[in-house]
């Protein structure tokens, strides 16, 4: 079968392309946003990438067109599909129909932390000889790809609440039919499609309704919006996890930065973990993954042991390079809570060393200015904050960050940010680049500029 994917370089659609290729299909795709790591991953797998959405990309006529949720009516390729009467389907529905049938699906949902937790869970299963399939919105370091079919019934999927397609406005995750469901957290996001938190809770409850009575829901104990959603009705056993006192799963830090911590179950210590991930949020993610792995037969003690060999995920506090003992990180920041937790983990690890936060407010919600009142507080742990004011932002970044306690500067170009970084950074500083897009390759450009300065 020839499958053509519209929006193929998105993390979800790119993963679908890998799965379709592994199933033996001929795969091609179109997109306008072609940048690593997804473009590199697809090309390495022999998948044809076409720039733009031209109707001629649909020649020869594919057997089926998979349409991503970023495409809408008026897109030339979408109009060609409809005018020619081609067979089309959403990505989420394709995943259910061709991959998830008859699988034990372990889904990871939440406003943030999905990619990290799904990657952790896939690794805990794989390291304990369960060889799961997975589809993750990032590239786990232990696997080098964002998706694979696996060799057992188990399949780990990052369960996104964003809408499915222009013709299906339900959240993608309602298609997945999980038997094991992780609910990491729930906050207001995706303001371009959800009018309020209640609308998001409704979609999460639709997901909750699909979990069978002999399945398991694993929920964060300190998330009031999750509790409200669950109170609407739950027909599945629930295990809770938290860093605070709670029934079921709990962590207790051994080191402040979270590199060592104890795992407890029902107030009894299970094991001590030592690993490479920073911060409270990653300890929370680990608890959720340990609980989910236990549901499919991996003892918690073995999962804790497997944490030590977890290699992290590209673009999640990924160290891109170290020049003159100046460390440059790449982080997929898209929400103030995630930004704050990331910087908190780094601050506890580096102590009083200086942190430079370089942020591109790029998500639809960020561009609309929905989080402008909380963004300043989320960046307060950085010593210097450099914000990129892109042309498509609907709000004044400088005005929105006036209450930030540290030095905040706004720039109209990435080159201006790079020039400023070169004049300010010194040995032992840490530079965190935060964006959910390519950010004009600023990470590598900063590293190249530092090489030129110090070498």
Mean pLDDT computed over 264-292: 94
Entry pTM: 0.84
CA neighbor of 214 nearest in space, from 291, 158, 135, 296: 296
Contacts of 77 (CB under 8 A, 6+ apart): 6, 30, 53, 54, 55, 57, 58, 71
Q: What pLDDT is stored for residue 139 in this prediction?
A: 86
Which of the residue ranges 281-285, 377-381, 397-401, 437-441 has the most confident prediction, judged by mean pLDDT? Answer: 281-285
Mean pLDDT computed over 67-88: 97
Rg of the Cα atoms in the chain: 22
Is residue 408 very low, low, confident or very high in pLDDT (cuts 50, 70, 90)? confident
Mean pLDDT computed over 90-96: 98
Say which residue, 306 or 244, is predicted with more confidence: 306
Answer yes or no: is pLDDT of 312 > 90: no
Mean pLDDT computed over 287-294: 98
Q: Where in the chain is the domain with CATH 3.40.1190.10?
A: 102-307
pLDDT in tens, 412-449: 899 999 999 999 999 999 999 998 777 888 999 999 99
Q: What is the CATH number of domain 2-90?
A: 3.40.50.720
pLDDT in tens, 338-383: 888 889 889 988 999 999 999 988 755 555 555 566 677 888 889 9
Question: Which CATH superfamily includes the segment(s) 318-454?
Answer: Mur ligase, C-terminal domain (3.90.190.20)
Using alpha carbons, list the distances in angstroms from residue 442 to 325, 359, 360, 413, 429. Answer: 19, 11, 10, 10, 17
Helix (H, G, I), strand (E, B) or coil at 321: strand
Strand order in the sheet with 64-67: 48-51, 26-31, 2-6, 64-67, 88-90
Share of the chain above pLDDT 90, in %: 70
Question: Which CATH superfamily includes the segment(s) 102-307?
Answer: Mur-like, catalytic domain (3.40.1190.10)
Q: Where in the chain is the domain with CATH 3.40.50.720?
A: 2-90
Q: What pLDDT is stored for residue 294 in this prediction?
A: 98
Q: Where in the chain is the domain with CATH 3.90.190.20?
A: 318-454
């Amino acid at each position: 079968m020839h499958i053509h994917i519209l929006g193929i370089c998105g993390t979800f659609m790119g993963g679908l392309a890998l799965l379709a290729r592994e199933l033996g299909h001929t795969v091609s795709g179109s997109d306008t946003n072609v940048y690593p790591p997804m473009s590199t991953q697809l090309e390495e797998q022999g998948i044809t990438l076409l720039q733009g959405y031209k109707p001629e990309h649909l020649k020869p006529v594919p057997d089926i067109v998979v349409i991503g949720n970023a495409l809408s009516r008026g897109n030339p390729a979408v109009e060609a599909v409809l005018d020619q009467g081609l067979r089309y389907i959403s990505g989420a529905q394709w995943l259910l129909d061709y991959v998830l049938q008859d699988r034990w699906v372990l889904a990871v949902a939440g406003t943030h932390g999905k990619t990290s937790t799904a990657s952790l869970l896939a690794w805990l299963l794989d390291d304990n000889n369960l060889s799961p399939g997975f589809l993750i919105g990032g590239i786990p370091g232990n696997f080098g790809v964002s998706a694979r079919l696996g060799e057992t019934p188990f399949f780990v999927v990052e369960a996104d609440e964003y809408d499915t397609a222009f013709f299906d406005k339900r959240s993608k995750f309602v298609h997945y039919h999980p038997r094991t469901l992780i609910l990491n957290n729930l906050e207001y996001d995706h303001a371009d499609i959800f009018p309020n938190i209640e609308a998001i809770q409704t979609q999460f409850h639709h997901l909750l309704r699909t979990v069978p009575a002999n399945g398991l829901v694993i929920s964060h104990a300190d998330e009031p919006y999750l509790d409200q959603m669950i109170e609407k009705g739950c027909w599945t056993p629930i295990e809770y996890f938290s860093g605070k006192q709670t029934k079921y799963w709990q962590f207790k830090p051994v080191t402040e930065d979270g590199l060592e911590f104890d795992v407890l179950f029902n107030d009894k210590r299970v094991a001590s973990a030592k690993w490479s991930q920073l911060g409270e949020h990653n300890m929370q993610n680990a608890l959720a993954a340990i609980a989910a792995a236990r549901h499919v037969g991996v003892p918690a003690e073995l999962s804790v042991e497997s944490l030590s060999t977890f290699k992290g995920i590209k673009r999640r506090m990924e160290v891109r390079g170290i020049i003159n003992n100046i460390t440059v990180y790449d982080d997929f920041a898209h929400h103030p809570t995630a930004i704050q937790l990331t910087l908190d983990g780094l601050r506890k690890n580096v102590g009083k060393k200086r942190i430079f936060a370089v942020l591109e407010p790029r998500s639809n919600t960020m561009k609309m200015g929905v989080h402008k009142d909380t963004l300043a507080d989320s960046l307060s742990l950085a010593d210097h904050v450099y914000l990129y004011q892109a042309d498509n932002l609907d709000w004044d970044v400088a005005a929105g960050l006036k209450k930030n306690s540290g030095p905040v500067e706004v720039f109209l170009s990435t080159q201006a940010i790079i020039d400023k970084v070169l004049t300010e950074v010194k040995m032992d500083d840490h530079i965190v680049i935060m964006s959910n897009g390519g950010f004009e390759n600023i990470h590598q450009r900063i590293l190249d500029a530092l090489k030129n300065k110090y070498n």
